[in-house]
Amino acid sequence: MNKRYTVSLTISDELYEKLNKLCREFNIKFEHFMRQLLDSLAETEDMLLKFKRDIKVPINTNSFFYNIFNTYCIIWTNLFSRVLEVLNARGYYVVDDFDIDLNEMNIYITYVALEHTKIPIDAFSILLARGFVHLSTISCINLSENEIVKLKERIKERVDEFADLLDYRIEIEEGEGFQYLIIDILEEKLEYLPSLQVISLVINKLLSSVKE
């Protein structure tokens, strides 16, 4: 069983207020917030040590950790915005979750629609990997049993708007109390993906074609 240690730290009022503000914004208790920061540093131990060994010069730890956090925040913020810009979705969606696999160099981001969004896509995720990009959109639908049967046949047909894509797939997921129309698109680069407006056009055409 791992030993547990109690660590005491004295900080200024100003620093405490700044950290406490972050806790309020992220809706997390102060103690849990600090524990997550320490866990994150521990999880990246190998990477940090490798970085320290590679640069082979003395490091000012104050500027070192500040620059790491600052750089990553800028990178992620720019990436989040870039995805929305390419998909023409800025102002309609917010980031719900994201993850990065440093071993595979894969970046996974999930976005959810804001309340005022009129685009018929409730959420979408994007996987940025070496050599390809995968976009997956999810739309909640509410169709009758007959309409679902028609839609399952309809999605087998060729979609003209997607003719130039590297690959795509349209499917329906059903369960107790839910129906999802899911569109998966594979492309070589982020910039090659269609906008959400184009995908919305396809969704609206599919749904209108089966309405009774």
Q: What tens-digit pLDDT sequence spans the chain (212 residues)?
A: 577 888 888 889 998 898 889 889 878 898 888 888 888 778 777 777 777 777 766 777 777 777 777 777 777 778 889 999 999 999 999 999 988 886 777 899 999 999 888 899 999 999 999 889 999 999 999 998 899 999 999 999 999 999 999 999 999 999 888 899 999 999 999 999 999 999 999 999 999 998 86
Kindly tell me the number of DSSP H helices and DSSP E strands found in the chain: 6, 6
The burial of 95, by beta-carbon neighbours within 10 Å (0-12 exposed, 13-18 middle, 19 or more buried), is given as middle
Neighbouring CB atoms inside 10 A of 92's CB total: 17
Query: 101 - beta bridge partners?
Result: 106
Domains of the chain with bracketed CATH: 60-210 (3.30.1460)
Three-state secondary structure call for residue 165: coil
Closest CA to 185 of 141, 140, 127: 127
The model's pTM is 0.74
In degrees, to the nearest 5, what angle opens at C-alpha 54 toward C-alphas 50 and 58? 105
Q: Do β-strands 132-140 and 123-129 pair in parallel, antiparallel, or remain unpaired?
A: antiparallel
